[in-house]
Amino acid sequence: MTEIDTEAFLADLYALREIGRFRTGVHRPTFSAADMESRRWLMAKLEECGLEASIDGIGNVLGRHRGPGPHLLVGSHIETQNEAGWLDGALGVVAGLALARAGLPVDVVAFADEEGHFSGGFLGSRSAIGALTEAEIDAARNRTDGTPLRAALETAGLAGLPRMRLDPARYRGFLELHIEQGTQLESAGLHLGVVSGIVAIWQFQIVFAGNQDHAGGTTMAERRDAGLSAVRLLAAIDREFPKVCGPRSTWTTGRITLDPGGYSIIPGRAEVAFQFRDVSIPVLERMEACLEALVRESNRRERCPATLTTLSKAIPAPCDPDLMRALSEAAEQVCPGRWQVMPSGAGHDAQNIARILPAAMLFVPSIGGISHHWAEDTSDADLAFGVRALGAAAARVLVG
């Protein structure tokens, strides 16, 4: 069994946590000063481990193994959500570094903007498989401050650099170690999760058009209250979705905006940010049909017409069976009986890489399931289980 230096691995993780530190988490939005510092830190570390480090025109950092193949690609992303956790993304990158340090013939990658600070999201992994156009780069803007992506690339010193394309012939596959971002493992007292597939997210905007009116002068019978129509639709979704969903489907209303938003003003417009997720296309299609039917019913019954706009419909990414088998055997070796197979409810770079390479993922538990928040954490012991199992799986794949 390949020996992973878990001490060095944890030391790397702790060192990376100091770049853009925010409380016990980090704040490294894509192409910020802290994000670029972390990318330079990574390049130095990759060289230290004997890899040939480079950064490309969209911010992807690649550490290329200098010896002969077969090779595996290992990694994740390195930027974070705003004021978020220290492990999301960073864990998978630093685990790749640990495998390289152990002498495994791996390339290590940190894809840019998995977190979607720029419209579109997954910039790096989409670019690396040839699914990001120059026109999309021209149009993309930062969701927080509106900065054009081109300007951000210029400031980061990346403008004009070529964009790397992954060569499928070079790799037996892609492995990504990640935190679970849920409590399935923790609740079951397990230490590792072999991911069966990555859910697809289908995302919608629902806008209700009402009449902005004085909350005292307008009787209940006269009103066209856009907020109330929105509440009724959301209550109907809460009632109907459990009848059509799959066992691990999720649906979320992340935002409700009532315009103009005053106590004494009947909302003239309501906007709802809604999404659902599943690993199965038939289940996704059933949920979409249900949503469409509920919007139609709302439009028959309510005074405020609702408009449903589809923002994105991704395709679920099942993980590669051979890589899953290697991860399962490695998990059993490292944590006998304390692992399970499970879907990933969150999107990951692996779902894009899966379009050109066999890809698979391994999860470690998230304490309390906290994610996308600075309090996100995982025990050192579970982090070590994760990197050891990843190393053992990589060794199996590369030897096999």
Taking residue 238's Cβ as centre, other Cβ atoms within 10 Å add up to 11
Residue 280 lies near a copy of itself (rule: CB under 8 A): no
Q: According to the annotation, is 115 in a ligand binding site?
A: yes
Given the complex with a copy of itself, which of 219 and 309 has the nearer CB atom? 219
Q: How do beta strands 106-111 and 71-77 pair?
A: parallel
Structural tokens at position 194: 């072999």
Give the residue, chosen from 93, 190, 258, 387, that forms a contact with a copy of itself under the rule CB under 8 A. Answer: 258
Q: Which stretch binds a copy of itself (CB under 8 A): 168-176, 264-272, 285-293, 352-360?
A: 264-272
DSSP letters along 337-369, please? T-EEEEEESS--HHHHHTTTS-EEEEEE--GGG
Distances (CA, A) of 382 to 10, 27, 100, 134, 241: 11, 23, 20, 41, 35
- Asked whether position 219 contacts a copy of itself by CB under 8 A, the answer is yes
Among 20, 63, 75, 227, binds a copy of itself (CB under 8 A): 227
**Among residues 211, 204, 55, 58, which one has the least CA distance to residue 131?**
58
262 binds a copy of itself (CB under 8 A): yes
Q: Which stretch binds a copy of itself (CB under 8 A): 70-78, 238-246, 326-334, 350-358?
A: 238-246
Q: Can residue 2 be called a binding residue for a copy of itself (CB under 8 A)?
A: no
Residues 6+ apart with CB under 8 A from 325: none
Return the range that interacts with a copy of itself (CB under 8 A); candidates 31-39, 89-97, 125-133, 224-232: 224-232
Among 174, 251, 339, 385, binds a copy of itself (CB under 8 A): 251
DSSP label at residue 279? S
- Quote the CA–CA distance of 53 and 48 in Å, as a whole number: 10
Among 27, 277, 286, 388, binds a copy of itself (CB under 8 A): 277
Residue 372 assigned as binding residue: yes
Backbone angles phi, psi at 50, to 5 degrees: 90, 5
Of 145, 121, 148, which Cα lies nearest the Cα of 132? 121
Among 177, 346, 357, 362, binds a copy of itself (CB under 8 A): 346
Q: By CB under 8 A, which span of 19-27, 56-64, 106-114, 242-250 interacts with a copy of itself?
A: 242-250
Integer Cα distance of 212 and 389 in angstroms: 58
Q: How far apart are CA 169 and CA 100, in angstroms?
A: 20
- The reply to whether 60 sits near a copy of itself by the rule CB under 8 A is no
Beta bridge pairs of residue 182: none
Is 278 annotated to bind ligand?
A: no
| C-beta of residue 127 within 8 angstroms of C-beta of residue 153 | no
Of these, 206, 366, 388, 396, which contacts a copy of itself (CB under 8 A)? 366
Annotated binding site for Zn(2+): which residue ranges? Answer: 77, 88, 115, 178, 372
Annotated binding site: which residue ranges? Answer: 77, 88, 115, 178, 372
User: Which residues contribute to the site for a copy of itself (CB under 8 A)?
Assistant: 180-184, 187, 199, 201, 203, 212-220, 222, 225, 227-228, 231-232, 234-235, 238, 242, 245, 248-256, 258, 261-267, 273, 275, 277, 344-347, 366, 369-373
